Structure 1
Amino acid sequence: MVFANIEYLFLLLLLIPYIVWYILKQKKSEATLQISDARVYAHTPKSYKNYLLHAPFLLRCLALVLVILVLARPQTTNKWQNSEIEGIDIMLAIDVSTSMLAEDLKPNRLEAAKDVAAEFINGRPNDNIGITLFAGETFTQCPLTVDHAVLLDMIHNIKCGLITDGTAVGMGIANAVTRLKDSKAKSKVIILLTDGTNNKGDISPMTAAEIAKSFGIRVYTIGVGTNGMAPYPYPVGNTVQYVSMPVEIDEKTLTEIAGTTDGNYFRATSNSKLKEVYEEIDKLEKTKLNVKEYSKRDEEYHLFALAAFLCVLLEVLLRNSVLKKIP
């Protein structure tokens, strides 16, 4: 138990002069009767009132102690604890252009990427992980966090069409870099997943890679999609027809991005291959993170206040009943 206003406990020192005053007062106010011999009263039984004579004073002192404790605000709480856990800082940069709806991976590229990313997050409970989405533009879906429940919920809500269509690979990397550049972690990683070539954005992929390198951030690039042609759902009226679209992944640029930042490039042509890519990245080195844990404080003054009230009430009852004095 701790006290929010511990300085009020110094008021307990006031009890010392109060007790001294009471003792002196009792000595001066005791009635006396002079008799020649007191032996006749030696075996006279004492009344129970003799034992209760100082009860009101004791109850008043106890009530004062309890009131002071109430003012000091007793609280129950757990101590702050600093612990160290192993982890790295990771930003997932995921392509959400409409081409990610191609169904060469099941059920489609985007859903396959979301499923494997969720599994990857579940396997790294100690990591700070965030999400950047990009298409023709880019935005942060979730900043770095260890609250993976929120993160997984964010992943579940990812879908195509959230932003202008296109593939701004450089912007996606740059956005992720802004979330990692101030990190104190030894390992800072961007996992970039795309199925196309850079065709939008104000920052080229290689410029973004150089920026990442300057901040000590490694970029792992993943090209997702089969070789050749891929079935793409195309809405026609109230129906959906499938057309074959060529798979155009700029593997050369993705490889150069990874090489510039000391990362690796992976090609995922199926769900199993995509899973293997994340398993490979899972072998990254780890670094120590300081985590401070705390618990909510609960006020516990209620019982002390109730006890003080009962003490005062009992004192009043004793003074006006059993110990009532006749003037």
Structure 2
Amino acid sequence: MSFVAPWFLVALLLVPAAAAVYVWWERRRTRGAEPWATAPLMPSVTRGGSRRHRHVAPAIYLLAAAVLIVALARPQHDVTKKIEQATVMLVTDRSGSMRSADLKPNRMEAVKAAASSFLDQVPAQIRVGALAFNQKTKLLASPTTDRARVKNALNTLTGAGSTATGDALAAALAIVRPQGAAGVQTPAAVVLLSDGANVRGRDPIALARRAGRLKVPVYTIALGTDEGTLTSKRANGTTKTERVPPDREAMRQIADASGGTTSDAPTTEALQAVYKRLGSAVAEQPGKDQLTSLPVGIALVLLVVGAGVSLRLTGRIV
């Protein structure tokens, strides 16, 4: 639990101070009455009711005051809120390493199938767009609630070329935050899937930090296995095979810098599980609910109870 205006809690020091003043005043008043009445007549000279009972109502009033002070501080607690309006950009690597067959039938086809499942998981009111990148970035679908359009766009992908992750992140941020930090911001997130290290273009870590400042978390997925290989033809007609492991550390750094999370997808099943989980995650965001009404209600009840007790024991409210 936290407080919106915690400085009001300093006023809680007034409660024990008021209690001390009350005790001092009662003792002074009692001592002032002693010269004028004998012990048997003291209850008649002081307030009605026994000496012990007449302190009940003031104690309740002090407790109500303490609860009202807590209400002024506006207590709140952490909650997870459903996003009613948001934009999610799917940013998918389409470099040559996506042809690796360590995921069946290959990485690119596994991504297409998992992305389709992701789109089915995301709530209908959330707009989803798609970007693909190698050394160049291509907008496949602008953010839309038309899931079929995004699926069809992703199905056109083939793997070729190198990797410019930073350029892809810059393009995604330009779409979800076209005015930068200005204006009213709707919730947004980026889902970045890549299987290789950034080799050209802008620094992806710097772009991830900018995404964090713009409150756009980047959820990264490191695709493939350390044993993944890619076979290609040389100009002389021979073939070469090279290893294409995922760059998990780069994916982690991007996620951390933006305030997102990272996942490892070494199998087709793991990729589908990651997308399914993110489909729910991007539809929610952390928030805070104020609990002011609760202490206010408690304080009002205490005030009513205190007044009733005072009337019953002393014949007056105060």
By the TM > 0.5 criterion, same fold? yes
Larger Rg: 1
Partner residue in 2 for 1:292: none
Partner residue in 2 for 1:193: 193
Partner residue in 1 for 2:175: 179
2:219 is equivalent to residue 220 of structure 1: yes
Could you give the per-residue CA deviations for residues 269-293 of structure 1, whole angstroms, max 9, x where no partner exists? 00011011112212325379xxxxx
Select the residue among 109, 117, 120 that pairs with 1:119.
Answer: 117
Whole-angstrom distance in 2 between the partners of 1:114 and 1:160: 12
Partner residue in 1 for 2:90: 92
What is the DSSP-based 3-state SS (H/G/I as helix, E as strand, rest coil) of the residue aligned with 2:218?
strand
Whole-angstrom distance in 1 between the partners of 2:267 and 2:254: 22
Whole-angstrom distance in 2 between the partners of 1:226 and 1:275: 15
> Residue type matched to 1:270 in 2?
T
Instruction: Sort the Cα spacing of 1:197 and 1:236 in 2 relative to 1 into closer, same or farther, 3 A.
Output: closer
CA contact 1:186–1:287 (8 Å) conserved in 2: no
Instruction: Sort the Cα spacing of 1:185 and 1:219 in 2 relative to 1 into closer, same or farther, 3 A.
Output: same
RMSD of aligned Cα (Å) = 2.7
Residues 266-285 of structure 1 correspond to what in structure 2 (within 5 A)? 266-284=263-281
Whole-angstrom distance in 2 between the partners of 1:276 and 1:156: 20
Partner residue in 1 for 2:164: 168
What's the CA shift for 1:159?
1.6
> Residue type matched to 1:120 in 2?
F
> Aligned residues: percent identity?
27
CA contact 2:87–2:176 (8 Å) conserved in 1: yes
Whole-angstrom distance in 2 between the partners of 1:287 and 1:123: 12
Unaligned runs of 5+ in 2: 1-82, 286-318
- Judge which range, 177-186 or 187-196, deviates more: 177-186
Select the residue among 259, 264, 283 that pairs with 2:261.
Answer: 264
CA contact 1:88–1:287 (8 Å) conserved in 2: no
What is the DSSP-based 3-state SS (H/G/I as helix, E as strand, rest coil) of the residue aligned with 1:159?
coil
CA contact 1:94–1:194 (8 Å) conserved in 2: yes
- Judge which range, 177-186 or 112-121, deviates more: 177-186
TM-score (norm 2): 0.57
Whole-angstrom distance in 1 between the partners of 2:185 and 2:279: 16
What's the CA shift for 1:235?
4.9
CA contact 1:116–1:274 (8 Å) conserved in 2: yes
What's the CA shift for 1:250?
2.6
Instruction: Sort the Cα spacing of 1:240 and 1:113 in 2 relative to 1 into closer, same or farther, 3 A.
Output: farther
What's the CA shift for 1:152?
1.4
Could you give the per-residue CA deviations for residues 178-221 of structure 1, whole angstroms, max 9, x where no partner exists? 111149664311010111001011x1011111221121100011
What is the DSSP-based 3-state SS (H/G/I as helix, E as strand, rest coil) of the residue aligned with 1:275?
helix
Instruction: Sort the Cα spacing of 1:128 and 1:166 in 2 relative to 1 into closer, same or farther, 3 A.
Output: same
TM-score (norm 1): 0.55
Residues 13-28 of structure 1 correspond to what in structure 2 (within 5 A)? none
Whole-angstrom distance in 2 between the partners of 1:250 and 1:233: 19
Instruction: Sort the Cα spacing of 1:104 and 1:287 in 2 relative to 1 into closer, same or farther, 3 A.
Output: closer
What's the CA shift for 1:95?
0.4
Unaligned runs of 5+ in 1: 1-84, 289-327
What's the CA shift for 1:154?
0.7
What is the DSSP-based 3-state SS (H/G/I as helix, E as strand, rest coil) of the residue aligned with 1:222?
strand
Partner residue in 1 for 2:143: 144
CA contact 1:185–1:287 (8 Å) conserved in 2: no
Whole-angstrom distance in 2 between the partners of 1:146 and 1:112: 23
- Judge which range, 146-155 or 180-189, deviates more: 180-189
Instruction: Sort the Cα spacing of 1:240 and 1:231 in 2 relative to 1 into closer, same or farther, 3 A.
Output: farther
Whole-angstrom distance in 1 between the partners of 2:242 and 2:223: 14
